[in-house]
Amino acid sequence: MAEWLSGCTEHVESTGVIRLTNLELSKVGLIRVGKTLVTVISSLLLVFQWVLGASALTAETEYRVAFGSCLKQDDAMPVWSEIESRAPDMFIFGGDNVYADIGAYKLMRSPKNFQKAYQNLASNPQFVSFQSALEARSSVVMATWDDHDYGLNDGGEENEHKLAAKKAFIDFFSPTGLALASVDEPGVYGSSIQTVGDLRVQVIVLDTRSFRSAFEKRKNKTLCSRGGWEFRSDPDATVLGQKQWTWFEQQLEQSADLRLIVSSIQVLPTEQCFEKWANFPAEREKLLTLIAEKTGGGVILLSGDRHLSEISVLERTDIGYPLYEVTSSGLNNALKGRFDVAEEPNSLRALPDNVSENGFGEIAIAPHSKSDTLVEMRLFNEAGTLLQSVSVPLSGLRKVVAGE
């Protein structure tokens, strides 16, 4: 171990994180003080992981939650065969699961545009094989939407076709845990609790479209060179709407050892000039405060939308543990290095770089007991190559209480 670390510069931060720089591969390792030494990897395909007091994750011992977003229904989808090979116990569709508001679909009248988009996805042989594999494994399927399967680019509550979009969404996915099954009222949020060994794993899927207040959007290149969009919203604007906020708070009051909270748009990053919770500062703060007050830990955020993938982490005293967010986008619609995506700022990024390849995310949980569970957050490309990974003991995602 010491030999591998030779030549590195060690920085112990006030957050309890040791960052290693000057590695031979010019990458950064991340070590959290506690049971686990965590490092991560790059596109050089080097993975180094050392865990104290816990066994390594293997396909035989771990529970896998795969997830992804941004899927163009008329393009090739090789990613499905790779996800299928991972044999996930759950798959979460994170939004933009079809594009019903672009090209020829934009010329179709509602609800035909939604129906045709899902019809074309359902006819893709790679997707059909993936669906069959999920059914054979009795894998859980959960889903939310983002703007393009919702039917309005950057859209919110003003979308007059949202009920037609919801009917097509439910008809296609029949998602687990939908809170509002009626197609006569808006909202596709839902939750489920899975028993994984001795653990209760809760998945909460939010709807950031149906009730979101309108905002003002304009170009402002002085704000940031990439994208350059400036978003302004009323201080009283909402992302979830009061009914969904009440429901969300109730979900957080349920007992769970690990909670995966799914938002179609990014929660933690604040510097990018596109859609994000930070465009509604009061709503973002409300979300983080609820996580701090209503949970004792074990929360990981999942998101999509961005056509890039990355792992972010926030350290806040009131939360009391590192809050991670894994963004996975897109399944077959990533930027692939275009538009200076590698230059996008994110001071909360856990690793040096973002990923702009097609691919998917995965949360692996092992070995299923409360005392020594290891959680690994992974990003794969569409060829099934592991690009980035961060491992943490579940105990390291617990709020530290004074005196313990």
CATH number at residue 370: 3.60.21.70
43 pLDDT more than 50: no
Say how far apart CA 15 and CA 21 lie, in whole Å.
Answer: 17
Taking the CA atoms of 344, 349, 354 and 355 in sequence, report the sign of the dihedral they define: negative
At a CB cut-off of 8 Å and minimum separation 6, what does 181 contact?
170
- Let me know if 386 is exposed, middle or buried by CB neighbors in 10 A (0-12, 13-18, 19+): middle
Q: Which helix (H) or strand (E) holds 288?
A: helix 281-294
Q: What domain range includes position 191?
A: 55-397
Say how far apart CA 63 and CA 52 lie, in whole Å.
Answer: 20
- Residue 252: pLDDT band by 50, 70, 90 thresholds? very high
Average pLDDT over residues 109-130: 98
23 in a structural domain: no
Residue pointed to by tokens 């009283």: 236
DSSP single-letter state for residue 344: -
Say how far apart CA 36 and CA 309 lie, in whole Å.
Answer: 24
403 in a structural domain: no
12 pLDDT more than 60: no
253 in a structural domain: yes
| HSE-up of residue 22 (Cα within 13 Å, Cβ side) | 7
The answer, as to whether pTM is greater than 0.85, is yes
Residue 189 phi/psi, 5-degree rounding, is -75, 155
374 pLDDT more than 90: yes
Q: Which two tokens stand for residue 29?
A: 């390792």
Q: Which two tokens stand for residue 399?
A: 């709020």
Say how far apart CA 34 and CA 393 lie, in whole Å.
Answer: 8
Q: How many residues does the chain have?
A: 404
| HSE-up of residue 280 (Cα within 13 Å, Cβ side) | 24
Q: Are 8 and 29 in contact (CB under 8 A)?
A: yes
10 in a structural domain: no
33 pLDDT more than 80: no
- Residue 5: pLDDT band by 50, 70, 90 thresholds? very low
Note the pLDDT of residue 223: 77
Note the pLDDT of residue 217: 84
14 in a structural domain: no
115 in a structural domain: yes
Say how far apart CA 68 and CA 309 lie, in whole Å.
Answer: 10
44 in a structural domain: no
Note the pLDDT of residue 230: 81
Average pLDDT over residues 283-308: 97
Q: Give the max Cα distance, the chain.
A: 65
231 in a structural domain: yes
Domains of the chain: total: 1
Say how far apart CA 276 and CA 268 lie, in whole Å.
Answer: 8
